[in-house]
Amino acid sequence: MQQIKQEVLDILLQLKGSGKFASIHSDDFVFPGLVVEGIGETAFPINPLQANALIQAGHKAPFGKGKATIYDDNVRSAWEIDASKLSFNNPQWTKFIDKAIGKIKTDLGLEDYTVAAHLYKLLVYQKGDFFLPHKDTEKEKGMFGTMIVGLPSQYTGGELVIQFEGVTEVADFTQNPNPYSINYAAFYADCDHEVKPLTSGYRVCLVYNLVQEKAAKKISLQSLQSHVATLSKILTKHQSKQDAQPSIVLLGHQYTPENFSYESLKLNDRVRAEALLQAAKEAGYYAKLCLVTSYLSGTPAYDGYDDDDDENAEMEEVYDESLTIEHWADDEHPALSNVSFAEADLITSFPIDEGEPIVKESTGYMGNYGPDLMHWYHFGAVMIWSHQLNAKLLPSQYTGTQLNWIEHFNRTSSISEEEKVVVDHILTAALTNPKTSYYQKDPTNYNAVADWLINGNKTTFLLNLLPERLHLFFEKIDTESWIKLFKFLSRENGTILFEKLTKALTLSVLEKLLDVLQVMMEDKTLKPLATVQIQKLPKYFKLVYDEYDHRVNAPAFTNLFWTAKHASSTAEWTNEILETLIQKPNRTYIHGTIAPQLLSVKEPSELTHKLLLFCQEYLQQRANNEPQPPASWSRPMPDNFGSHKYQWQILKDFLESPTEQNFDFRKNQTERKELEYAIKSSVVDLKTETIKKGSPHTLRITKTQAAYHRQMNDWNEDVALLEKLKDSKQ
């Protein structure tokens, strides 16, 4: 294992820079003071008259083939002016070029080299001009690349397309809406590049040779593919082992989770990450960019009391630490939520807990306790693992992660037999850990389960699931996906599935069933199957209402009312449903669920009409019994004393008195608090206040008419709702 780690590190250490083969930028306009021999100083933006003058001063642009110089309008059509006829009056132009070189060096990974830009030519493209794909030849000693500087002018087309090892970058200078900006692009001479045909206007640009000035290792564009091929073989050697663990390779730099992405990778990290990702893909493995987080907490390395929170103090003693992957970059593969590893498992050339952490916190002093320090190291990394290892990891992942992977498998044919077996196991016995990490998104898309069953033609598997597992999927999978599933099943198998779903019916399954049946009724192919189940709804409602104290929710009533109107329900069906719905009438349920649904009905049915009459009768009975205020000040004792029997004995005579309204309890604070807590813990018509005169203070207890006011409030609501129901058009 140690040898494999070293082999990986040896390859990565050879990769330097950002990994880019092209650098494309746009900067604020600097007046070049460009002087063309025979024409004079050029104004900007360059207009058609000036462009034509430049063409007249130049000559047709050739191209090199070996040592030969060839003119062929079928390969290249453009005009050029040699550097010897060009000069610049503005000294700021040299500073602009130097600044551009600085950005280019960073992009191309050449910070350690001395690079200069030598003016080569001025090019003019007019409508129809182009340059077919080609490589630049070395025009002077030390030349390793080319820089193109676009001068402000109006044109369309003429995109500069640069390619290397199957990757394409496009420099389209027309995309910048500011006509006075200066766009430029640079690339290695080994890159194939072309200029697409100009469709209008004039494209005018300066061409510079990029030259290595000081003696050093020759600048050349590294062939990433050769390193990728070697890494792929090394990774295969590692992952093919029976007891293989994920290959977790640290890149070198730290990143905050909020700003971590492939685009944010620094310096050498990008090219190394790209090499690892490509090598894994070539080997047929999963690979994902992630943050390896090392967390340390402990005590600071100083003594004494300090009022300031010193998060910058050194940590003297570590008493808690962890090593995790909690953040993953977005790409084609889902993240994992639970990966166990130790520091010894990492492929890294440096200790993970040395140096400055990217995040530091201090709790500060807390009473008699000293501060705690917390350090977070967030290192960019690439994790690589095989399909076989993925099959071992999936059962221990959180539910959202497992569902994300099932969704991924539905979109790809790249799945191993081991992974297929594991997914079936997850559907049979897992999906029981809904926890997610701090950074992980949790879409919990159970619809992926339906697609998995359909794509795998898993009718038998579905019908063999245990009832509680069927209930879970029936509740979690969207109605639209269940419609797809029932269309996938034969009518006979659909009937069997309904029998299993309704064998041990739950309230939530009944609510979902009403929604599914309504949509099925609107589909000609599923309507016969749905009709059979709708006829059984009275039985289903009775089973659930006899078993559960809770009742179906408002959306379920909406679906039931639609079914009663559109599913040709009989009088017997209606009466059976109604009888179940009105058993054990509940005021809160009528106010909060049934009545609002009845008031929103747009297509009345016999069921809604009869249910409306029942609600009116129920509310009328309550309206006929207007609450009356208490005849005296006596109040009942609470039904349940709990642990406060002694306190209520103190209040017994006061509560029973028909005339006493106040009771003063002058005791020490502990006794007052216990009595006050007893009152607040019960539903009783008493309120309390503390009178802070004398010592000890007095707890004054006053009788109220709160119960009567609550009854009157309920009565007023009943009367108002009754009027609304009477005014409804049903």
**Same domain assignment for residues 409 and 545:** yes
How far is it between the farthest Cα atoms of the chain?
121
Map tokens 């539910």 to a residue.
399
**Same domain assignment for residues 297 and 200:** no
Residue 669, Cβ neighbours under 10 Å: how many?
11
Residue 240 domain-assigned (yes or no):
yes
**Same domain assignment for residues 607 and 651:** no
Contact indicator for 728, 599 with CB cutoff of 8 Å: yes
What is the reported pLDDT for 190?
Answer: 81
What is the reported pLDDT for 442?
Answer: 45
Residue 203 domain-assigned (yes or no):
yes
Task: Tell me the pLDDT tens digit for each residue of 211-247.
Answer: 998 766 666 666 677 888 889 998 888 777 767 789 9
CB neighbour list of residue 608: distance below 8 Å, 6 or more residues apart: 561, 564, 565, 598, 601, 730
Between the alpha carbon of residue 270 and those of residues 252, 335, 591, the distances in Å are 10, 20, 62
- Provide the residue type at 617 as one letter: E
What is the reported pLDDT for 217?
Answer: 67
Domain stop point among 182, 212, 242:
212
Gap between the Cα atoms of 590 and 718, Å rounded? 10
- Judged on CB neighbours under 10 Å (0-12, 13-18, 19+), 714 is middle
- Judged on CB neighbours under 10 Å (0-12, 13-18, 19+), 385 is buried
**Same domain assignment for residues 88 and 195:** yes
**Same domain assignment for residues 273 and 190:** no
Residue 726 domain-assigned (yes or no):
no
**Same domain assignment for residues 195 and 229:** no
**Same domain assignment for residues 174 and 230:** no
Task: Note if the pTM is more than 0.85.
Answer: no
Contact indicator for 297, 321 with CB cutoff of 8 Å: yes
Task: Tell me the pLDDT tens digit for each residue of 64-109.
Answer: 766 667 888 999 999 999 999 999 999 999 999 999 999 999 888 7
- Stretches where the chain sits below pLDDT 70 are 1, 17-19, 65-68, 165, 177, 215-223, 242, 267, 302-311, 365-370, 432-443, 730
Residue 67 domain-assigned (yes or no):
yes
**Same domain assignment for residues 137 and 245:** no
Gap between the Cα atoms of 487 and 451, Å rounded? 12
Gap between the Cα atoms of 600 and 730, Å rounded? 11
**Same domain assignment for residues 57 and 95:** yes
Residue 581 domain-assigned (yes or no):
yes
**Same domain assignment for residues 263 and 366:** yes
| Strand ranges for 227-271 from DSSP E | 247-254
Paired residues of 188 in beta bridges: 145
What is the reported pLDDT for 370?
Answer: 66
**Same domain assignment for residues 506 and 531:** yes
Residue 356 domain-assigned (yes or no):
yes
| Alpha helix ranges (H) inside 355-490 | 387-393, 399-411, 417-429, 447-455, 459-463, 467-476, 479-488
Residue 486 domain-assigned (yes or no):
yes
Q: What's the distance, CA 716 to chain centroid?
A: 48
Between the alpha carbon of residue 515 and those of residues 449, 483, 552, the distances in Å are 19, 11, 12
What is the reported pLDDT for 11?
Answer: 87
Domain range enclosing 372 = 224-385
**Same domain assignment for residues 551 and 496:** yes
Task: Tell me the pLDDT tens digit for each residue of 158-175.
Answer: 999 999 867 899 999 998
Domain stop point among 169, 184, 212:
212
Assign residue 139 the CATH number of its domain.
2.60.120.620
Structure tokens at 597: 């649904």
What is the reported pLDDT for 5?
Answer: 86
Number of residues that make up the chain: 730
End-to-end CA distance of the chain: 79
Instruction: Mark 92-110 as b/e (b = at least 16 C-beta within 10 Å).
Output: ebeebbeebbeebbebbbb
How many structural domains does the chain have? Answer: 4
Domain stop point among 385, 419, 449:
385
Gap between the Cα atoms of 607 and 471, Å rounded? 28
Going edge to edge, which strands form the sheet with 130-134? 76-77, 130-134, 192-195, 160-164, 167-171
Residue 623 domain-assigned (yes or no):
no
What is the reported pLDDT for 242?
Answer: 64
- Judged on CB neighbours under 10 Å (0-12, 13-18, 19+), 283 is buried
Map tokens 């999978």 to a residue.
477
